[in-house]
Each structure stands twice: as C-alpha cells, then as structure tokens.
Amino acid sequence: MNVPVLAPLTPAARRVLDAASELFYERGIHAVGVDTIAEAAGVTKKTLYDRFGSKEALVVAYLQHRDAQWRDLLDKYLTRVPEPGPDRVLAVFDAAISWSDENGAKGCSAINARAEIGDGHDGHPVFPEIARQKVWLLDLFTEILRDANDVDPATMAKRMMLLYEGAIVTVGMETYPHPFDVARDMARSLLTAPAR
Amino acid sequence: MNVPVLAPLTPAARRVLDAASELFYERGIHAVGVDTIAEAAGVTKKTLYDRFGSKEALVVAYLQHRDAQWRDLLDKYLTRVPEPGPDRVLAVFDAAISWSDENGAKGCSAINARAEIGDGHDGHPVFPEIARQKVWLLDLFTEILRDANDVDPATMAKRMMLLYEGAIVTVGMETYPHPFDVARDMARSLLTAPAR
DNA sequence: CCTTGACTATACAGGTCTGTATACTTGACT
DNA sequence: AGTCAAGTATACAGACCTGTATAGTCAAGG
C-alpha cells in the first residue's frame, strides 16, 4: 500500500537509527547534532555519513522507521478484529492508545518534523514523507469504513482523521490526560449513531 | 482571564517582533538566527538584545504576540454572538476558519514550538506559555458550554478541543482541504444532537 | 592470500550560532 | 545645557554545526 521498505541495515547503522530516533523525537531535529547521535550510537561520524549520506537522509530514515513501527503495531490490532465493521475503526484508536502510552509522549513525529521545515517545502525530502504518512492513514480509514458499508466513507474518514490528529497533539501538549479515550468515544458515537 | 499583557514596545522592538513572528512561524524557531531577524527588521543585533534580552525571551514574546492576535479575532467573533448557546461554540470555529485562512498555513505556533523544545521542559520558559494558551482555550470552551447549559461542559469542552486541535494540525499538514469545516460540522452535530 | 566492506580514530575546513563589547549618533525631556 | 533612552555600526569571542579527509583495523569470502 505504498509504504517504503527500508534497506537492511548494518549493526552500526541500526544503532545510529535507534539513537537518532530517540534523540530527534525527544529533543527535536534541529536541536540534535550528528556528533551527538554518533556518540550515543557508539559510532564515529564517518560511519554515520557512510551509511546515511547526510543528516537530512537520516531524518527521513528516522521518520520512515517510526512510521513502520506504528504500522506494525496497528496491524496487530487490526488482525485481531478481522470482520468488517465499525469495530475495526475503533481498533485504530485502540492501537493509538497503546502506541501513545509507550512511544508518544511528545505527540506525532511527522507533525513535529513539519514544524521544523520551512513552508517552502519544495525539494525538501521530509515533506513528501510526512504527507505520505498522513494520506496513508486517511486512506486506511476510508477503506475500513467502505468495508463497513459506511454511507460516506470519505467524509467519515476525514472526521476520524480529525479525532486522531487532535488526540495525538493533545498528548504532546498535555492539555488534558487520555485524549485518545475521548477520541475513541466520539468515534464510537459517530459510527453507531442512527442516521440523522 | 490570565493572559499576559505585553509591555509597550519601542518602534524598533515592534519591527523585531513582527519580523520574528513571520520568520519563526514560517521556517521554525531553531532554523532562524537572530542575525536574520535583526536584518529583516532593519535593526542591529544589539538593539534586539537590548529590547528582548535573549532569543528565548523573544520566542516567548513571539508566542504571546501571536496568541494575543488570535484572541483579538476570537473576541470579535464572540461579541457577534452574545446570547449563550451552542452558536457561541460554533463562533469559535468560525473564528478559527478565518484565522487559519489568513495566518495559519503552517498550523498552530504553540504546537510547532512544542515540537522544538525538549521533553525535559523543566525550566524552559516556552512550555508554560504554550500550555497556558491551550488551557485557556479549553477553559473558554468550558465556560461557553456551561453558559449554554450543556449537561457536561467539561467533557464537551474536551471534545471541542480535540476537533479544534485536529483541524489546525490538518491545516498545517495539508492532509485534506478545509478541515475546520469538517470540525465545525462535527461540533454542530454534537451540540444539537438529542441526548443519547 | 588477498580483496572488500564495515568500522574506528582523529583532525580539520568552513560556516553559523548566540551573545557581548566598544564607540558613536540622535532626539526628547528636564 | 545636559542627561538619558534608543538606536546604528562593527567587531569579535567561543561554541556548535555539517561534512570531509586521512590512516588504520578487522573479519569474512572467493
């Protein structure tokens, strides 16, 4: 479904990517230098550049890596609810609750990355990646809803997307606790409500 | 209602704050240096530091400035709908539509700033400011809903907050067009639906 | 045996970052 | 007349940034 498969990594490259993922997510992309990443990974800067080519490319790999982990978790939750229906939509929110509990204290890495790149996102390789991730999820919602015989899957998917994005941001902003529970509740109401 | 009033600014300080607001918002905070800001404002770096003390303080001023502008616009929309009721909640979304059309192409400055500060937000003066902004809006929703005799203003305010945050992020991510229209629609349904 | 890929270690180039120091100008108010 | 706030102009310190260069180690595979 149009997701990039990252090339197999050498052991040192793995450590670089893991270190970069943690540091970029927790401190922000611009705030973390390549020396810091190399040191945290127990690797020389030369190795980092030999494997990834540039910091920008490493940032893209970081975003792909985190998204791949999220999709893996999501798959687990979706295969547990195989029959088409509203419960499959709710499974996305259940996965998001689990994900944000363990890996999401600062919100969505794609949204956070967006904040750090200019709005002239021409030629910047980060924007296509994060745009792709968001469209992928919107499309997933649409498919699940179509399979569930929703009367207007495209519109309902936009609504689900809004709830999802609102919740993940609220996690990062700490506006109030457990926003995904609220989002899940709203989704359930929308999906089980009689047609108005 | 616990909002900071920024001290009167000298002409040069005004230009610095205006330039900083545009540059920080469009390119990100870490991506913009003080030299760039000073040059854009037609001011020497010394003046910038004489007026604001540090880049960090200028960032806080930027966030307060943008929030003050948003609250001004919001006030205009709210005074247009003086009678308590659901329409006052919808007025917030109407204001947000207008705001994001003109000043919000990259989403919410507070959310974007959050992405650039570490999660160890102890002592960092930016986090309290953006947390205050979000709580302020949550409280505003709560008050409007209480005045509208909502049966559970606190819960409904959390829902409105989710729709608002989801929409503003979706604007910045360009996942799909006009998300605030979707959010406003969902809010209207929630507020006018018969009790379930 | 010997080449090749993966890696370490170290140094450095060239740029940008925040913040400060020094010296001067200008206009307003007392 | 004199003081003071606000500003310009310029230089610089010291740190940090991305990226490259040079030299060497080590293990696996043909």
Are residues B25 and B97 both part of a single domain? no
- What pLDDT is attached to residue B153? 98
Structure-token match 């457990």, residue found: A178
A4: in domain: no
Q: From its phi and psi, is residue B3 left (phi > 0), alpha (psi between -120 and 50) or beta?
A: beta
- What pLDDT is attached to residue A121? 61
- Indicate the pLDDT class of residue A193, thresholds 50, 70 and 90: confident
- First-to-last alpha carbon distance for chain A, in angstroms, is 34
Taking the CA atoms of A126, B171, A3 and A167 in sequence, report the sign of the dihedral they define: positive
- Asked if B183's CB is within 8 angstroms of A116's CB, the reply is no
- What pLDDT is attached to residue B15? 98
A75: in domain: yes
Which residue in B99, B125, B119, B118 sits closest to B180, CA to CA?
B99
Are residues B119 and B91 both part of a single domain? yes
Model confidence at A196: pLDDT above 50:
no
Are residues B47 and B109 both part of a single domain? no
Instruction: Return the number of other C-beta atoms located less than 10 Å from residue B21's C-beta.
Output: 20
Are residues B72 and B148 both part of a single domain? yes
Residues A157, A141 contacting (CB under 8 angstroms): yes
Please report, as a single letter, which amino acid is at residue A70.
W
Are residues B149 and B85 both part of a single domain? yes
Chain C footprint bases within 7 A of protein beta carbons: 6-11, 16-23
A36 touches strand D (CB under 7 A): yes
Q: Count residue pairs from A and B with Cβ separation < 8 A.
A: 154
Give CA–CA dist A119/B24, Å, rounded.
Answer: 11
- What pLDDT is attached to residue A48? 98
Beta strands in chain A (DSSP E): none
User: What is the CB-side half-sphere exposure of residue B91 using CA atoms within 13 A?
Assistant: 21
Are residues B119 and B178 both part of a single domain? yes
B23: in domain: yes
Interface test with A, best of B158, B180, B185, B192 (most A CBs within 10 A): B158
Are residues B77 and B166 both part of a single domain? yes
A3: in domain: no
Instruction: Look up the CATH number of the domain holding residue B60.
Output: 1.10.357.10
Are residues B16 and B70 both part of a single domain? no
Model confidence at A195: pLDDT above 70:
no
* Alpha-carbon gap: B40 to the closest alpha carbon of chain A (Å): 17
Structure tokens at A4: 């990039």
pLDDT in tens, chain B (196 residues): 678 766 689 999 999 999 999 999 999 999 999 999 999 999 999 999 999 999 999 999 999 999 999 999 999 999 999 999 999 999 999 999 999 999 999 999 999 999 999 876 667 899 999 999 999 999 999 999 999 999 999 999 999 999 999 999 999 999 999 999 999 999 999 999 765 4
Chain B residues with CB under 8 Å of A103 CB are: none
Over residues A71-116, the pLDDT tens digits come to 999 999 999 999 999 999 999 999 999 999 999 999 999 999 999 9
* Alpha-carbon gap: A80 to the closest alpha carbon of chain B (Å): 27
Structure-token match 């003086």, residue found: B82
Structure tokens at B113: 């700033």
* Gap from A52 CA to C4 C1', Å: 20
Are residues B41 and B66 both part of a single domain? no
B2: in domain: no
Over residues A143-161, the pLDDT tens digits come to 999 999 999 999 999 999 9
Residues A90, A187 contacting (CB under 8 angstroms): yes
Residues B153, B145 contacting (CB under 8 angstroms): yes
- What pLDDT is attached to residue B122? 65
Give CA–CA dist A51/A14, Å, rounded.
Answer: 10
pLDDT, chain A, mean: 95
Classify A37 as helix, strand or coil: helix
Give CA–CA dist B66/B48, Å, rounded.
Answer: 19
Are residues B46 and B81 both part of a single domain? no
Are residues B137 and B60 both part of a single domain? yes
Give CA–CA dist A129/A139, Å, rounded.
Answer: 15
Long-range contact pairs involving B179-185 (C-beta distance under 8 Å, separation at least 24): B179/A158, B179/A162, B180/B93, B180/B96, B180/B97, B180/B100, B181/B97, B182/A155, B182/A158, B182/A159, B182/A162, B183/A162, B183/B93, B183/B96, B184/B90, B184/B93, B184/B94, B184/B97
Give CA–CA dist A20/A37, Å, rounded.
Answer: 6
Domain tally for chain A? 1
- Asked if A27's CB is within 8 angstroms of B119's CB, the reply is yes
* Alpha-carbon gap: B106 to the closest alpha carbon of chain A (Å): 7
Q: Using the CA of B57, which nucleotide's C1' is the nearest one?
A: C18
Are residues B73 and B15 both part of a single domain? no
B55 touches strand D (CB under 7 A): no
For residue B40, the enclosing domain spans 7-53
- What pLDDT is attached to residue B193? 75
A36: in domain: yes
A34 touches strand D (CB under 7 A): yes
Structure-token match 């499959």, residue found: A88
- What pLDDT is attached to residue B195? 54
B105: in domain: yes
Chain B residues with CB under 8 Å of A132 CB are: none
Instruction: Look up the CATH number of the domain holding residue B39.
Output: 1.10.10.60
